[in-house]
């Protein structure tokens, strides 16, 4: 074969892909997402978990989308429990967890999943998620500061900026994320001990500790309509968010690290500001409960240095936290999976 024209290198084989989706209410969002998945350019299997819905999501899905594999929880469970069940019901080499309020472009799965075919140590991929209107970024994966406070990368920034320098990537945002199944199974999926929030960030950290690589797919584009499951800054949302923050502060030993004073100062400011604005102690009570809940679990290993962005200083971290949680959700939308958005808690 001296003539390269006589030789054609075989193209990478498309990995077998499962899409794991969780739905609670808001059938119209689930229906729209499933219809968009029907137009994808690569074969895939969809596993839809009806998370104890009282609106016959299971029956509607089986009637309108007979190709979808449907499982049903007997009662409403946390998103970690529901997503773990949906992932376990499939067997694809790559699994994409997806909120039902995501609108993927037709080539979304192909662009997001093909890198797994040629990179054996690639454990996860983050797509480019846009806000409605497609002028601003919703997330391009997650970043973390030295206190392990997490933030969606490029949140609310113009789309053109994603091609420049940005915060260090720790892993994908759980709104939509792709994982190599063997990496997911090694990490044992999402932590089911948490009420809501930060499960995807924690999984990203554990995968990095285990030596798996992560990357972004700028050409895998979808619109995330927005989150309103718990209500914008509702007491329930703030309690669960605070619970998650304290739970992981303790499990990762942040208050025994060199970032302890910074973490304490940040949490004190956040709790005081939240109490002033909301006239209750939901965020503080959640942190107390989360700290206690973590006491029964083994400490987790700190992530490698390359997974944390040391450039995110104290004041920048506060700004990013405010930018993530003070911006209102898109009007008329709902994150129906009960998936707590990743990022540091309020």
- Confirm whether 29 is domain-assigned: yes
Which of the pair, 346 or 214, is modelled with greater confidence? 214
H or E stretch at 62? helix 57-64
Domain containing 173 equals 17-346
237: in domain: yes
pLDDT in tens, 14-70: 899 999 999 988 899 999 999 999 999 999 999 999 999 888 899 999 999 999 999
> What is the tens place of the pLDDT at every residue in 160-198?
999 988 899 999 999 999 999 999 999 999 999 988 899
Contact 29, 225 (CB under 8 A): yes
Q: Whose structure tokens read 């409605």?
A: 132
Q: What is the pLDDT of residues 229-242, one digit of tens each?
A: 344 568 898 999 99
Identify the helix (H) or strand (E) that includes residue 73. strand 69-73
Cα–Cα distances in Å, from 287 out to 100, 244, 249? 29, 7, 10
Do the domain assignments include residue 302?
A: yes
Q: Which residues contact 233 (CB under 8 A, 6 or more apart)?
A: 277, 278, 325, 326, 346
Q: Looking at the domain assignment, is residue 58 inside a domain?
A: yes
Q: How far is CA 328 from the centre of its chain?
A: 19
DSSP H helices, 38-93, are: 57-64, 79-88
Intra-chain end-to-end CA distance of the chain, in Å = 63
Looking at the domain assignment, is residue 10 inside a domain?
A: no
What's the pLDDT score for residue 341? 43
Using CB atoms within 10 A of its CB, is residue 186 exposed (0-12), middle (13-18) or buried (19+)?
middle
Give the residue, 313 or 179, on which the prediction is more confident.
179
With respect to residue 12, please indicate whether it lies within any of the assigned structural domains: no
- List the CATH number of the domain containing 180: 3.90.550.10
Number of domains in the chain: 1
The residue-averaged pLDDT of 311-330 equals 72
Closest CA relative to residue 203, chosen from 221, 226, 220, 179: 179
**Is 299 inside any structural domain?**
yes
User: Is-contact 27 60, C-beta < 8 A?
Assistant: yes
d(CA 264, CA 230): 26
Q: Does any domain span residue 170?
A: yes
More confidently predicted of 12 and 264: 264
Residue showing tokens 């990013």: 320
């Amino acid at each position: 074969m001296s003539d390269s024209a006589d030789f054609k290198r075989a193209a990478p084989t498309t990995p077998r892909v499962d899409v794991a989706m969780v739905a609670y209410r808001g059938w119209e969002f689930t229906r729209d997402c499933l219809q968009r998945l029907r137009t994808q350019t690569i074969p895939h299997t969809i596993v839809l978990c009806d998370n104890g819905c009282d609106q016959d999501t299971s029956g509607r899905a089986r009637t309108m989308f007979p190709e979808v594999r449907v499982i049903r929880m007997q009662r409403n469970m946390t998103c970690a429990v529901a997503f773990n069940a949906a992932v376990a019901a499939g067997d694809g080499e790559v699994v994409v967890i997806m909120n039902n309020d995501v609108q993927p472009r037709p080539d979304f799965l192909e662009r997001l999943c093909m890198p797994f075919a040629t990179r054996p140590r690639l454990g996860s991929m983050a797509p480019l998620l846009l806000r409605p209107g497609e002028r601003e970024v919703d997330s391009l994966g997650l970043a973390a500061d030295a206190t392990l406070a997490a933030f969606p990368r490029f949140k609310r920034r113009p789309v053109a900026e994603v091609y420049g320098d940005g915060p260090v990537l720790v892993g994908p945002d759980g709104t939509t994320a792709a994982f190599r199944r063997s990496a997911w199974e090694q990490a044992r999926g999402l932590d089911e001990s948490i009420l809501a929030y930060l499960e995807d960030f924690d999984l990203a950290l554990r995968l990095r500790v285990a030596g798996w690589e992560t990357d972004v797919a700028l050409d895998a584009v979808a619109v995330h309509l927005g989150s309103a499951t718990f209500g914008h800054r509702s007491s329930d949302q703030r309690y669960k968010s605070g619970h998650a923050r304290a739970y992981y502060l303790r499990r990762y030993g942040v208050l025994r690290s060199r970032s302890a004073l910074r973490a304490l100062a940040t949490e004190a400011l956040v709790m005081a500001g939240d109490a002033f604005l909301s006239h209750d102690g939901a965020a503080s009570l959640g942190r107390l409960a989360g700290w206690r809940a973590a006491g029964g679990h083994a400490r987790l290993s700190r992530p490698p240095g390359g997974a944390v962005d040391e450039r995110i200083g104290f004041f920048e971290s506060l700004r990013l936290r405010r930018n993530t949680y003070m911006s209102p959700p898109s009007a008329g939308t709902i994150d129906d999976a009960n998936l707590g958005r990743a990022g540091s808690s309020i």
